[in-house]
């Protein structure tokens, strides 16, 4: 992954993990788990971002975005999710295909293009995988959601959204685990095994790791 993309993905990840709250400090371990990178890689990148004035790092407490860092993250999240929506809604791409193409286009799209695309799409509020799209003024108020892994045994849940990760989106498509579908947590297999989900005649097994990045309605 090019370094320029890596930096912006870090900014986006910090914003997403904080659920848009400017004061919430995000730990290196949270970022490492979310991006599937090593803690040392996180430390190195945060040092670069702090030097660039885009994050504030408080040792042993975590990191927050600066005003410029937050502005960059919001602009890119808006661009990415609108391009995803166009790919899925108008071009018939799968969510994972729309996401992959948006990754290649979102950094180069200017505000004029993105605002025109927003209008063309009818000002959608959610991306194809259920995440909030910042509006033209970059207002961003995502809901605080539970991860699927936090659901209780025998609880019935509705799938709200998936985090922005290509492998996760491909995984949910392979399982045919759809947004807004309703499932009951039947059991958790031993030795940190998968969650067993049941809906009517269908039964799925979802890994514990994937369940950390699949969100459900409270």
Q: What pLDDT score was predicted for residue 4?
A: 40
Contact 98, 84 (CB under 8 A): yes
Q: What percent of the chain has pLDDT over 70?
A: 97
pLDDT-derived band of residue 24, with 50, 70 and 90 as boundaries? confident
CA nearest to 153, candidates 120, 189, 179, 118: 189
CATH code: domain 146-216 is: 2.30.30.90
Q: What pLDDT score was predicted for residue 3?
A: 42
List CB contacts of 38: < 8 A, sequence separation 6 or more. Answer: 32
pLDDT-derived band of residue 214, with 50, 70 and 90 as boundaries? very high
167 vs 11: CA distance, rounded Å: 20
The pLDDT tens digits of the residues spanning 57-110 come to: 988 889 999 999 999 999 999 999 999 999 999 999 999 999 999 988 988 899
Q: What pLDDT score was predicted for residue 5?
A: 43
189: left (phi over 0), alpha (psi -120 to 50) or beta: beta
Q: What pLDDT score was predicted for residue 6?
A: 62
Domain boundaries, the chain: 3-65, 146-216
* Domain 3-65, second-level architecture: Orthogonal Bundle (1.10)
The pLDDT tens digits of the residues spanning 33-45 come to: 888 888 889 999 9
Q: What pLDDT score was predicted for residue 60?
A: 82
| Average pLDDT over the chain, rounded to an integer | 91
List CB contacts of 150: < 8 A, sequence separation 6 or more. Answer: none
16-30, 74-88, 104-118, 138-152 — which is least confidently predicted?
16-30
56 vs 63: CA distance, rounded Å: 6
Q: When comparing pLDDT for 198 and 217, which is higher?
A: 198
């Amino acid at each position: 992954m090019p370094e320029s993309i890596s930096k912006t993905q870090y900014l986006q990840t910090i914003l997403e993990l904080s659920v848009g709250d400017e004061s919430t400090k995000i730990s290196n371990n949270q970022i490492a788990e979310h991006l599937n990178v090593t803690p040392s890689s996180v430390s190195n990148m945060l040092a670069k971002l702090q030097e660039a004035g885009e994050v504030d790092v408080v040792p042993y407490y975590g990191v927050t975005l600066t005003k410029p860092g937050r502005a960059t993250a919001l602009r890119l999240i808006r661009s990415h999710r609108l391009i995803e929506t166009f790919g899925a809604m108008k071009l018939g791409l799968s969510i994972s295909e729309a996401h992959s193409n948006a990754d290649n286009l979102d950094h180069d799209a200017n505000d004029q293009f993105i605002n025109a695309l927003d209008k063309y799409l009818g000002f959608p509020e959610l991306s194809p995988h259920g995440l909030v799209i910042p509006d033209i003024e970059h207002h961003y108020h995502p809901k605080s959601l539970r991860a699927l892994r936090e659901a209780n045994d025998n609880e019935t849940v509705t799938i709200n959204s998936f985090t922005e990760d290509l492998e996760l989106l491909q995984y949910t498509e392979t399982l045919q685990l759809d947004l807004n579908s309703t499932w009951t947590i039947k059991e958790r297999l031993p030795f940190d095994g998968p969650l067993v989900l049941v809906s009517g005649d269908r039964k799925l097994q979802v890994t514990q790791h994937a369940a950390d990045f699949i969100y459900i309605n409270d």
